[in-house]
Every structure is written in C-alpha cells, then in structure tokens.
Structure 1
C-alpha cells in the first residue's frame, strides 16, 4: 500500500456519519470526525441501528481524533469510539472545546446512561482528552526519523468552532512531502455571526463535502427578506410559526437574524416599545397556569389602523424551546471574540443579538407541554424554534403532532432535510395535503409548509468549487464525500470542467 492513503468509514453514501481515516504509514493514522448516521442512512425508519453505531474498524494505528466541529453527524459516535478502546487525544478548535462536552454529554445520556455520576465521570474523561488548538497555528502531532505530522485548523464558517483541517506529512527518509485538507462542513459566505472561510494556500489532496454540490443559494439579503416575508405571511394566519432547527449553529443564526428584523421594525415604528422583560415573564406565567388570555391588541398578526408595518414584530414572542439549544446559545454569547465584525458591531451599539426582550426560553418538560397546549388552543401568533432540525426527535415533534392538522399554523424549514426523516416527508408531502409519520403514527398535514432553501449553514456549489480553485496551488486529487449521489456527481463534473478549462489534470474520487 502506498502512503498516505484515506479510508472512509462514513459520509460516503449520504450526508451523515462523517468519519475518515488518514493512513500516514503502516503504524500511524489519524481519524477525522466520528459522526452519527441519521435518517435513511441508519435504517428505512430513520432510526439508529446498532450496526451503524458500532466501531467496525481497527483502532491500533489511530493516534488522534480531529473533530472538525460539534454537530452530531460529525462527533456523535465518539462515545462508541471510546467504548471500543480508543485512547488517543481529541483535537479541536478552542470554541469546539467548550461545546463538545455539552454535545457528548447529551449523546451519552441518549445512548448509554442517565446516571449522573456516570455522566460526570464520562465528561471528565472527555475534557481530559481534548486538546484545544488555536486557529492558524501548526501543531506537531508526531515527529520521528520516518514521519513528521503537523496539523493546522482554519475557520470553516459553518458553526462556531468549525474548522477545516490542514495536515502536513513529511517522510524524511524519502524526502516526500504531502499536504492533505479535510474540509469538514464549509459555511456559506456572509452567514450570520461567523467570518467566511478562506481557502487554504495549497494542497495535494482535498477531501470535500458536497451537501449542496448540485445547487446555488440565494444571497444573504435575499434569503433574509424571504425569511421576513414568510413569517409575516404566516403570522397573518393568526397561528404559530414552527421552525425546526438544530441546537448548534442554525438556532443561533436564526435568533441573530430575527433580532435584526425586529430592530429594523422598531426603527420603522419607533412609537411602539418592545415587549418589556416583565411582560415576557407574565406571558410565560400565563402559559404555565394554562390560562388562555385574550391576545393583546396588535399581537394577533394583523396591522392595526394606525400601523403600516404588518405584524407587531416588536411584541412578537420568539420562543426557544430547547434546553440544549439554550446552553449552546449561552456558550455562543460567551465566545464573542470568535464572532465576525458585523456581530461585534451590533454589540457595540448596545444590542444583544442572542439575548433580546422578545426571546422566551422554555426549559422544563412541563413548561414545554404547557407551551404546546397554549399555542395550539389560542389564536396567538408566535415563532417557535425547537429541535431537532429534521423532526426525527426532540420537542419539535410534540408541536407538529398538535399543530400539523391546523391550517392556522405554519412550518418553516430553513435547513437540509435528509432522506428518510420526518422533516423530508413533511417538506415533500405537506404542500400536497399529504401526511407524515411521527413516532409511528400518521398525521394529516394541513398547516402551511415553507422552505427557504438558501438559508443554509453549508456552502453551495459555487462556494465548494471556489474552496478548491482559489488556492494558490490547486490540488491534483479531490475526494468528494458527505453528499447525496446526485450532488456528488454534479460537483465532480463542475470541478473537472473548471480544471479542463485551465488545461490541468484532476483525479476525482467518489468513495463508495
């Protein structure tokens, strides 16, 4: 076998389960991500099967794990990796080092045990294994007469802490040098909160994601206008707007964008004060007591006679119903130094992009059930952001069970829906008046279904091609992973065409 070589243990037949092994020589290898499979990539029912949780590859040569970011489809199998006997360090960015224990605590509780002492021991073990690497800084993992391995993380712009990985390999005895880049998940330029990713200087081999390798996104201004427009249309129905969103990344971006919309609405209607914090507390107390109060004037989503701004945005409740998302949002607030300049400018202006007056958080399960009941039974507009993003589990499922049948309500998808997930079914069959399976029962879909496809934390086809072709020295080999078959194939053709126009050779591999 020639070295280096790459084995793909996941994300080769879909968009989840990312796990790649870089074989540096016969005795040393590196694992990049170890993620959970989701949707139809686990089973036809979209449930995790034991055969896709187990670690089925030998660990004896793996010296370290690099976590590109903390989404569950990139780190969710770490508990199983440790259970299989992995003893090495976990390398990640400094923000990811703060977020990873929270993600893995949740994964451990779901897959292993809720016993608090066991959970605490496990998290302590995780924290001892983590090595936090600053961005743009080389870290020497291995240095002998036969092999030198250095690793550098660069901002990927996908979620806070996300990174693409540069790996420099030097074989002193032969003098051969190779640079391999693993993209992880790349973010779209101009995404809220995060600086856009910059391509590496060079690489011989690039392993690149292809989630949206077959399509282009709207620009940020356009999709933000669509977000506002869809919500205003939905609020005019005097119901709830349900936004399924994952706890990390998408939730915080949505809060950021909603705060921006509310801020502009307040500037356009300065005579209307925002919902005071005391009023939000009273609103939550009403929900907790299961009272059905009369909607206040201007909150029903219809413009009053003296208001031309449409729904009363400055008083509209934005409900974050996810304890996990609330924890991540707090960490996002604590990691302001990693925000982009636009977000930091808002802070300087005295604004709180992730903590504003209309934002209500729902923590306990009892409060969650009360909120579902309250919004189901009252004609009171609200926006609910709840996990998970593909509707396969989490609190969003209870909202959907209660509201999908009612045309007053609206479901707004702003993220990718994997094949085999309830979210994909609702997205596909909802506009046709179909039904969806939630926890083994069929539910009619009469709520309005909206999709803003461009509102994604993933790079689109143009961004993916630019990541490769804006390097000073283009790679000679590109491996395309983390995408559906069509997306990978179309991205491959696009890259080959770009290289051909320059008269350059390119080896494209789509692992299977």
Structure 2
C-alpha cells in the first residue's frame, strides 16, 4: 500500500457522521473527527441508530484524534471511541477545548449514563486527553527516523473554535513530503461573530466538505431583510416564530443578528418608544419583544461564547466597545427547567402574544423544539423558520418539503398536520456555499493534485466536483478527483 492513504468511516453518503482516518504508514494513523450519524443515515425517523454508534474499524494504529469542531456530527461518537479502547490524545483548538467537554457530557448522558459520579469521571478523562492547540502554530505529533508528522490548525469560520487541519508528513528515508488538508466544515464569509476562513498556502491532498456544493447563499443584507420580513409577518398575526437551531454556532449567530434588528427598530421608532413612528410596524412592540432561548445546552454554550470574546471578529468586538451585549441583551429570556419549558409552550399556545422561540435541535428530530411543533404546527398564526441545513430523513426536512402543501409530519410516532407558515433562509447557514468551497481551493497558491469530496448529499458532491474539474481544466492543471461513497472507503 502507498502512503499516505485515507479511509472514510463516515460523511460519505450524507452530511453527518464525519470520521476520516489518515494512514501515515503501516503503524501510524490519525483520526479526523468521530461524529454521530443523523437523519436518513441512521433510521427513517432521523434518530441515531444503535448500530451506527459502534466503532467498527481497528484502532491499533490510531495515535491521536483531531476534532475540527464540536458539533455532534463531528464529535458525538467520541464516547464510543473511548469505550472501544482508544488511548490517544484529542487535539483541538483552544476554544474547542472549552466547548468539547460540555458537548461530550451531553452525549454521555444521552448514550451511556446520567449517574453524576460516572459523568464526572468521564469528563475528567476527556479533559485529561485534550491537547489545546493555538491557531497558526505547528505541533509535532510524531518524530522518528522513518516518519515526522506535524499538525497545524487554522480558523474555519464555521462555529467558534472550528478549524481546518493542515498535516505535514515527512518520510526521511525516502525524502518524500506531503501536505494533507482536511477542511472540516468551512464557514460562510461575513458570518456574524467569526472571521471568514482564509485558504491554506498549499495542499497536495485536500479532503473537502460539500454541504452546499450545489448552491449559493443569499448575501448578508438580503438574508437580514428576509429575517426581518418573516418575523414582522408572524408577529403581525400575533403568532410565534419557531426557529429550530443547533445549540452551538447558529444559535449564537442568530442572537447576534436579532439584537441588531431590535436595536435598529428601537432607534427608528419601535412602538411605545423612540421619537418617530414613521418606520415602526403597527402592533409590534419591538423593544419589549421576547426572544426566548429554550435550550439549557444552548444557554451554556452562549455563556462560554461570551467568555471567548478574544476569538470574535472585529465587527463583534466593535459592538462590545459601544457598550452593547449582543449575546445577553435585555429582551433575551432563557428557559432552563423542563417544567418551565412546558409552561412556556402552554403560554405561547394559548395566548396571542408575539414571541420568537429558538429551541433545539436544529433538525427537529429530538429536543424541546418538538413540543413546540406538536402544539403549534396546526395553527396558521405561527411560523417555522429554518436557518440551518435539514438532512434527508429528518422531521425538519419533511416540514420544509411538505409544509407549504398543507402536508403533515410524524413526530414521536404521531402524525401532525402542518398549517403554520414555513420559511427557509439559506443565507444563515454556517457552511460555505459553492462559491466559498471553490474559492477555498482556487485561492491556494499551489492547488491540490488530489481532492476528495465528502460531507454532502450525492447531487451536491457531484456538482462541486464538476465545477472543480472545469476550473482545473481551464487553468491546465491536473486533478485526481475522488468522491467516496457506500462501501468504498479508499
């Protein structure tokens, strides 16, 4: 076998379960991510199936795990990896080192045990394994006469702490050198809170995601106007805007944007305050509009986001200097206990008070958003607003596809009619679109000679591959393009 070689244990047939093994030589390999499968990649109900949790590949050569970021589809199987006998370190960025124990504590409680002492022992073990790497700094993982491996993390702009991974391999005996880059999940430019990712200088082999490899996002100004428009329409109907969101990343970016919208409405004369009513929407009291964050996990992450301000982008830091608090503003209400959550669902269902609810999970396959959907989907006063990708086989995808047709969705084994309005704003995706993905490759000084496209549905992967081939041909470069799928791991 020629080295290096790459095996793909997940994210081959969809956008979840990211897990890639870089075989550096016969005795040494690295694991890049170890995530949960979701949606149609697990079961028809979109819930993680037990048979997709098991670690079915040998661990004997794996010397370390690199976590690109802490989303569950990239790190959710780490408890199972440890249970299978993995003994190596977990390398991640400094912000991810603070966020990862929170994510894995939740994953452990869901998959293994809620016993307090067991959870404490497990989290202590995780913290002992983590090696936090500063961005832009080379870390020597392995150095012998036959193999030298260095790793460097660079900002990926997807969520706080996200990174793409540069791996330099040197084989001293043959003199061969290779640079392999794993993109992880790349962020969209101009996303709130985080700097946009900058491509690497070069790569010999690139493993790149393709979630939005077949489409373009709306620009930030357009998506902001659409967000305002959807909210205004729903609130004018005295309804609730339900926003399914992932606990980390999308929720914090959405809070950041909502704070700015409310502030601008306040300054232009929101009902009941300000000097002018010319620009105010009738009946909408923007300055007192409740923004309800109904997710204990999202609340924890939001607190950590506030602690990690040094990693925010310049725009966000400027707002802080102006005395604003984009992740902790006056109208933001958090709901922690399950009892308080059920009371909030009842209150918003039976009253005509407008509100915005952000609740997990992002694909509606579990979590508190499900109770809101059960209570409100039948009522045309309400709106469901999707701002994140809905994987095939998830309830979120079903609502998105059939809602406008007056269809239905199955939640926890029961069928619910959809009469609420359904909206999707793609521009709030935390993933780069086709233009961003292509730019990640073409803005390198030395383009990779081999590109492997993963983490996308079939159409997205092949469309991105088609565009890449055209660009390589246009510039008279050679490209070996691989799209792993099914049982084809190599």
Query: What's the CA shift for 1:250?
Result: 0.3
| Cα displacement string for residues 250-276 of structure 1 (whole angstroms, at most 9, x for unaligned residues) | 0000000000101111111278459xx
For residues 46 and 391 of structure 1, the distance between their equivalents in structure 2, rounded to whole angstroms, comes to 9
Counterpart for residue 127 of structure 1: 127
TM-score by length of 1: 0.93
Counterpart for residue 177 of structure 2: 177
- 1:317 paired with 2:290, answer yes
Counterpart for residue 405 of structure 2: 432
For residues 468 and 143 of structure 1, the distance between their equivalents in structure 2, rounded to whole angstroms, comes to 29
| Cα displacement string for residues 272-311 of structure 1 (whole angstroms, at most 9, x for unaligned residues) | 459xxxxxxxxxxxxxxxxxxxxxxxxxxxxxx9564112
Counterpart for residue 113 of structure 1: 113
Q: What is the SS of the residue equivalent to 1:3?
A: coil
Q: What is the SS of the residue equivalent to 2:423?
A: strand
For residues 24 and 271 of structure 1, the distance between their equivalents in structure 2, rounded to whole angstroms, comes to 63
Counterpart for residue 328 of structure 1: 301
For residues 165 and 193 of structure 1, the distance between their equivalents in structure 2, rounded to whole angstroms, comes to 21
Q: What is the SS of the residue equivalent to 2:87?
A: coil
Counterpart for residue 17 of structure 1: 17
Once the two structures are superposed, the pairs formed by residues 196-235 of structure 1 within 5 Å of their partners are 196-235=196-235
Counterpart for residue 326 of structure 2: 353
Once the two structures are superposed, the pairs formed by residues 42-61 of structure 1 within 5 Å of their partners are 42-61=42-61
Q: What is the SS of the residue equivalent to 1:454?
A: helix
| Range 123-132 or range 262-271, more displaced | 262-271
| Cα displacement string for residues 132-152 of structure 1 (whole angstroms, at most 9, x for unaligned residues) | 000000000000000000000
| Range 222-231 or range 134-143, more displaced | 222-231
For residues 429 and 487 of structure 1, the distance between their equivalents in structure 2, rounded to whole angstroms, comes to 22
Alpha carbons 1:333, 1:354 under 8 Å: kept: yes
- 1:4 paired with 2:4, answer yes
Counterpart for residue 488 of structure 2: none
- 1:475 paired with 2:448, answer yes
Alpha carbons 1:158, 1:187 under 8 Å: kept: yes
For residues 97 and 306 of structure 1, the distance between their equivalents in structure 2, rounded to whole angstroms, comes to 48
Which runs of no fewer than 5 residues in structure 1 stay unpaired?
A: 275-304
Query: What's the CA shift for 1:45?
Result: 2.3
Candidates 463, 478, 502, aligned match of 2:436: 463
| Cα displacement string for residues 452-478 of structure 1 (whole angstroms, at most 9, x for unaligned residues) | 122200000000000001001111000
| Cα displacement string for residues 326-382 of structure 1 (whole angstroms, at most 9, x for unaligned residues) | 000000000000000000000000000000000000000000000000000000000
Q: What is the SS of the residue equivalent to 1:96?
A: helix
- 1:33 paired with 2:4, answer no
Query: What's the CA shift for 1:208?
Result: 0.1
| Cα displacement string for residues 466-501 of structure 1 (whole angstroms, at most 9, x for unaligned residues) | 000100111100000000000000000000000110
Alpha carbons 1:266, 1:272 under 8 Å: kept: no
Query: What's the CA shift for 1:26?
Result: 0.2
- 1:411 paired with 2:372, answer no
Counterpart for residue 86 of structure 1: 86
- 1:394 paired with 2:367, answer yes
Once the two structures are superposed, the pairs formed by residues 240-279 of structure 1 within 5 Å of their partners are 240-269=240-269, 272-273=272-273
Query: What's the CA shift for 1:449?
Result: 0.6
Cα RMSD after superposing both structures:
1.1
Counterpart for residue 362 of structure 1: 335
| Cα displacement string for residues 29-79 of structure 1 (whole angstroms, at most 9, x for unaligned residues) | 000000000000001222222221000000000000000000000000000
Counterpart for residue 344 of structure 1: 317
Which runs of no fewer than 5 residues in structure 2 stay unpaired?
A: 486-490
Aligned residues between the structures: 482
TM-score by length of 2: 0.97
For residues 348 and 303 of structure 2, the distance between their equivalents in structure 1, rounded to whole angstroms, comes to 26
- 1:374 paired with 2:343, answer no
Alpha carbons 2:268, 2:279 under 8 Å: kept: no
For residues 340 and 328 of structure 2, the distance between their equivalents in structure 1, rounded to whole angstroms, comes to 20
Once the two structures are superposed, the pairs formed by residues 126-145 of structure 1 within 5 Å of their partners are 126-145=126-145
